[in-house]
Amino acid sequence: MGTEIQKYSPTERDYLDNKEGFNDSLNFSRPEWIKQIHQNYIQAGCDCIETNTFGSNTLKLKEFGNQYKTEEFNIQATRIAKEAMKEANKEVYIIGSMGPTGFLPSSNDSDLGNISLNEIEEAYFDQAIGLISGGCDVLLIETGQDVLEMKLAVEGIFRAFKKLEKSLPLISNVTLDQYGKMLLGTNVQSAYTTLSNLGVDLFGLNCSTGPIEMTPSIHWLCEQKEIPILVMPNAGMPINENGQAKYLMSPEEISAKLSDFVSKYEMIRIIGGCCGTSPSHIRKLRYMLDEKEQFVKSHKSFESNL
């Protein structure tokens, strides 16, 4: 989503209240952009699209003065995604995106760690209420950097399920560096054990690196054969070009690697892309996956779980 938004070259005036850089506010100020991006990915062959709500938890919204509009932000984003699906005339799953709060509760940092655990849980509870009320099919905690924050997110989401008397499939994604560690040093084994024991339905990796760097972690995760795995790498490792992150993996390159993962690991149930993956990347990936009978079988298994 973020990569595609930048192609519109947004200026300060495009954002809600002129608060430049807050992509989630474009759901209100430029909803036509967000809808078109969703439609581009649907037309490229996606089975799932994510709401533009990566930063729409209460604590992140507070940075932009919108902490009292959490439910409104998430309902609006879900509405746009559903409209895009309807206009594209193709049924897809709407996944509610839930990114980090901007705090690191496990950290001793005087700023990043200066937050109560209750506030973090409440932030995800509020966001989950909005996404569920808006009509999402699945919830996704993504780009997790602190396993304690992710644990609190899961607890807040389960509390929202209980309050609304409605449960959805829940995916938890961590982000790892090229050495297989989260930001604060937690390895993939510890993160997986913690989150899978909390009752999430799928565990995954997204962002930070490309598929090559993810390979050892994916291999270990799929060996566990306990819960399905999601893989959403960036289009390679980014380079800095004139102050902007640029991703160099072509649609052919990333699709070949992801397709290889699907052939090799039966536990992978969802495959896609994060930063730098355009509709062109997804279109090529869709073509390759459609050639693989194993993926079709796995995909049907995931659908039956939903």
Supply the pLDDT for residue 300.
55
Residue holding tokens 């100020």?
A: 29
Strand partners, 174: 144, 205
Residue 265: pLDDT band by 50, 70, 90 thresholds? very high
Domain ranges for the chain:
1-40+48-132+145-163, 169-176+191-306
pTM: 0.93
- Out of 3.20.20.330, 3.30.470.30, 1.10.760.10, 3.40.30.10, the CATH code matching 169-176+191-306 is 3.20.20.330
Dihedral pair phi/psi, residue 271, rounded to 5°: -135, 145
Residue 154: pLDDT band by 50, 70, 90 thresholds? very high
Domains 1-40+48-132+145-163 and 169-176+191-306 share a fold: yes
Give the pLDDT confidence of 95-137 residue by residue, as tens digits: 999 999 999 999 999 899 999 999 999 999 999 999 999 999 9
Give the pLDDT confidence of 190-207 residue by residue, as tens digits: 999 999 999 999 999 999
Supply the pLDDT for residue 242.
82
Q: If you average pLDDT over every residue of the chain, what do you get?
A: 94
Give the pLDDT confidence of 168-178 residue by residue, as tens digits: 999 999 999 99
CATH C-level class of 1-40+48-132+145-163: alpha beta
Cβ burial, residue 65 (10 Å; 0-12/13-18/19+): exposed
Average pLDDT of the residues in 41-52 = 98
Give yes or no for a contact between 12 and 20, defined as CB atoms under 8 angstroms apart: yes
Give the separation between CA 135 and CA 14, rounded to whole angstroms.
Answer: 27
Say which residue, 62 or 246, is predicted with more confidence. Answer: 62
Supply the pLDDT for residue 280.
97
Residue holding tokens 């902007």?
A: 244
